[in-house]
Structure 1
Amino acid sequence: MNYSFRKATTSEIPAIWDILQQAIARRKRDGSEQWQDGYPNPEVVKKDVDAGHGFVLIEGENIIGYTAVLINDEPEYAKIIGEWLSNYDFVVFHRVAISENHLGKGLSKKILEFIEEFALSNNIYSVKADTNFDNIAMLKIFEKSGYKYCGKVYFRGGERRAFEKVLTKVN
């Protein structure tokens, strides 16, 4: 399949929210506490898109995945209980979600590959992210994608596991 990854547009917010709602329900079915507190919500998605941080994974003409991608913008990461692998500029991503009817195709890993390309295209060699301790699917994706566990961070009162991948320059 041919996939593309680009900034989301305002008109795509309803499709993005549908995908996130599927992911929220999936987290609940998996027994995870992540995303069970009213976050994320449509306002969060609108803020992502309006700020230019919302990105979509596209197959043909269809939106099949979503994430928010930011540069050097996660204040909680300065309070890590542990230690990052690097202390230079970084890309951070949040809210990775894949459409229900596209699961099992390795698309979350594909989104991470696109995020790494985005980082390199901006001369940034670190990607940082976090997930809930009970989001087994995302923990496995981090492991398969070469992310290293660095410690714990806290969001909205909840403990999260923090990961980083240091990228190498491609000549």
Structure 2
Amino acid sequence: MSVTLQKANIFQALEIWEILQQAILRRKADGSKQWQDGYPNLAVIKNDIEKNQGFVLMDDENIVGYCAILINNEPEYANLKGEWLSNEDFVVFHRVAIDEGHLGKGLAKTMMTLIEDFALENNIHSIKADTNFDNVAMLSIFEKLGYAYCGEVFFRGNARKAFEKVLN
């Protein structure tokens, strides 16, 4: 499987939303509280795309995953209860979701590696991200890919674990 990370377009929004709905249901089935409050939703995805921040993981012509990628644009990260590894420019990703028909193939890790490539192509050497305390799958991926736990950030009143990886 040879996958690429591409900017999403508005015509892909409904298919992306289906993938995110699958992920929302998986989080719930796992007992996680992440994404159980009406966020994310189709309007969020459309906003990502309109701001050129929505990205699809493609296997040939098929969307197999989605994430939002932002540069230096996460205001909550300024309020970290903890300490970041760096204070330079950073890439942040949100809303990582893999199509349920493609789970177990390491695509989330592949997507994160492609995000690292995106950062380096933009001469950025820091990736910051966060996840719920109960998102075991993402916490495991952070550990496997060498992300360092930096503290807590808060979204919609909920604490989330924040991580950073400094790229060479």
TM-score (norm 1): 0.98
Structure 1 runs (4+) greater than 6 angstroms displaced: none
Tell me the secondary structure at the aligned position of residue 26 of structure 1: helix
Tell me the secondary structure at the aligned position of residue 134 of structure 2: coil
Gaps of 5+ in 2: none
Aligned position for 2:77: 77
Matches of 1:2 and 1:110 in 2, distance apart? 10
Aligned-partner residue type, residue 11 of structure 2: S
Task: For residue 23 of structure 1, report the CA deviation from its aligned partner.
Answer: 0.1
Tell me the secondary structure at the aligned position of residue 104 of structure 2: coil
Q: Number of residues paired by the alignment?
A: 168
Aligned position for 2:126: 126
Match runs of 1:60-71 below 5 Å: 60-71=60-71
Aligned position for 1:166: 166
Deviation sequence 1:88-115 (CA, Å, 0-9, x none): 0000000000000100000000010010
Task: For residue 82 of structure 1, report the CA deviation from its aligned partner.
Answer: 0.3
Task: For residue 9 of structure 1, report the CA deviation from its aligned partner.
Answer: 0.4
Task: For residue 60 of structure 1, report the CA deviation from its aligned partner.
Answer: 1.3
Identity over aligned pairs, percent: 65
Tell me the secondary structure at the aligned position of residue 151 of structure 1: strand
Gaps of 5+ in 1: none
Aligned position for 1:138: 138
Aligned position for 1:156: 156
Tell me the secondary structure at the aligned position of residue 43 of structure 1: helix
Matches of 1:18 and 1:144 in 2, distance apart? 28
Matches of 1:61 and 1:7 in 2, distance apart? 13
Matches of 1:85 and 1:55 in 2, distance apart? 26
Aligned position for 2:29: 29
Task: For residue 41 of structure 1, report the CA deviation from its aligned partner.
Answer: 0.3
Matches of 1:150 and 1:38 in 2, distance apart? 27
